[in-house]
Amino acid sequence: MRWIKWLLGEGLLYRLYRRRILKELDGLAKPHHVAMILDGNRRWAKARALESSSHGHRAGADKIHEFLTWCEEQGVEVVTLYLLSSDNLTGRDSQELDDLAEIIEGLANQLSRFSNWRVKHVGQAGALPSHLQHTLEAAEQRSSQNSGLHINLAVGYGGRAEITGAVRRLVESHQHAGGSLDELPENISVQAIADHLDTVGQPDPDLVIRTSGEQRLSDFMLWQSAHSEFYFVEALGPDLREIDFLRALRDFGTRQRRYGQ
């Protein structure tokens, strides 16, 4: 029975199917920026009767490094990972939040020291525990000169809060430049707001992937995903396979992005 399981798992059949998808990707457009909502960690732990959700969150963090490697191999330039929402900060119990902070710190340290990857924190730093703030800042500084895969860690992040903050910073910069209230409306534009987002200077995500079968954004990159393509995977976060990701790329490559035309 073990050899049958091997054939159907990541053995011969898996490798043949992977090779087939890679061939189908030849000549297809690929995303420059992939945003990922790696969801389902708690359900993964519960399904295995593990004692706490932290086991699921650790398994999800372990999967992230694999996922980023897959992205890099396929020429993706920017990846944004939704790790902790601003809603989570008020909706989860203190022990789970402590566990998540520890896991995210370990992940940020690991990613900022790996290869030529560059790490950036997006989200409300002031809402996070001080030790997590410092770890994210250190990871960002440590990798700031790297030129490889750019990784946004969305921690304490909320799309509505980001847009609100961008508008506030736009108004403040207008005031600091000596602009009047009457002149302010003329300075508010799509580009002006985009220039004050956490992701300023980065391309918007071409593809947003969410695991666990849920089909919603959950306040993730509301502004940046206005023209993104969406792909939903049934697998729970820790169970995500490379072929799931490759199928998402294949699906993306066959879509026609019209941008209203």
How many Å apart are CA 117 and CA 79, to the nearest integer? Answer: 11
CB count, 10 Å around CB of 257? Answer: 11
Known catalytic membership, residue 187: no
Q: How far is Cα 33 from Cα 80, in angstroms, rounded to an integer?
A: 8
First to last CA, the chain: 54
* CA torsion angle 208 211 214 215 (round to 10): 20
- Residue 110 — φ and ψ, nearest 5°? -60, -50
Q: Which one from 41, 87, 88, 251 is the annotated catalytic residue? A: 88
* CA 213 vs CA 7, 42, 99, 114, 219: distances in Å: 26, 14, 25, 31, 17
Token pair for residue 167? 């508008």
State the pairing for strand pair 78-85/150-157: parallel
- The reply to whether 195 belongs to the active site is no
So which residues are the catalytic ones? 39, 88
